[in-house]
Amino acid sequence: MCAQYTPTRADRIAAQFGVAPERADYVERAFPGHVAPILRVDPSDTLHCDLAVFGLIPHWSRDGRNFRHCYNARSETAAEKPSFRQAWARGRWCAVPADAFFEPNYETGRAVRWQLATARSTPLLMAGLWDRWRAPDGRSVLSFTLLTRNADAHPLMKRFHRPEDEKRSVVLLDVEELRPWLGCSPADAPHWMRPLQTDWVAAEAAPAPER
């Protein structure tokens, strides 16, 4: 599971993808409930970079607080889960540009935060789902979740999370794969849920500052 990451800055997104969010003053470190940029296409297949809430808010939510539990979606079951099945069925794929994401490592016997940063000149692109929620006051709220896959046998990602927990990993896309991913069908989406390419990231311990 990924609960925090570093969103790519607006100027770098614009340089890489030719689009940028409407504001550049979003958070430097994204946690569930924060607003950060996502890449997606509209019905005319035009690429957009929109600001959205990290943590998908399903259309049936009453108070919009589901982001607390819906910031990651298991790719194996997202098509059936009530929180994600509408977005999956409608092909609401997105890619989340990031410079790094963070995971807990327990090899010392306690949780130590590790950073997995892009090891290339391009941002990391994490595969996700987006949806739109209508708030009681009439506001339209865009939100997203990161798609994950099993990583029990992955040489790097199996090192994270509690020893007794299933290992999970975000799904990374290459820059050239952005448009094919955003335009794929629900039937083809599982084929994109590949193991994380270890040479795309530089992993190192990055303990959180003491409070």
Q: What is the pLDDT of residues 56-104, one digit of tens each?
A: 999 999 998 888 999 999 999 999 999 999 999 999 999 999 999 999 9
Residue 141: pLDDT band with limits 50, 70, 90: very high
Q: How many CB atoms are located within 10 Å of the residue 53 CB?
A: 25
Q: What are phi and psi of 73, to 5 degrees?
A: -130, 125
Fold exhibited by the domain 5-101+121-150+172-194:
hypothetical protein yedk fold (3.90.1680)
Predicted local distance difference test score (pLDDT) of residue 209: 76
Is residue 150's pLDDT more than 80? yes
**Strand ranges inside the chain, DSSP E:** 5-7, 35-41, 47-54, 72-74, 93-105, 112-118, 124-134, 140-150, 168-170, 172-173, 201-205
Residue with the bigger pLDDT between 211 and 178: it is: 178
Q: What is the pLDDT of residues 7-59, one digit of tens each?
A: 999 999 999 999 999 999 999 999 999 999 999 999 999 999 999 999 999 99
Predicted local distance difference test score (pLDDT) of residue 211: 62
Judge contact between 119 and 202, C-beta under 8 A. yes
Is residue 128's pLDDT more than 80? yes
The pTM of the full predicted model, rounded to 2 decimals, is 0.96
Q: Which two tokens stand for residue 137?
A: 């006051």
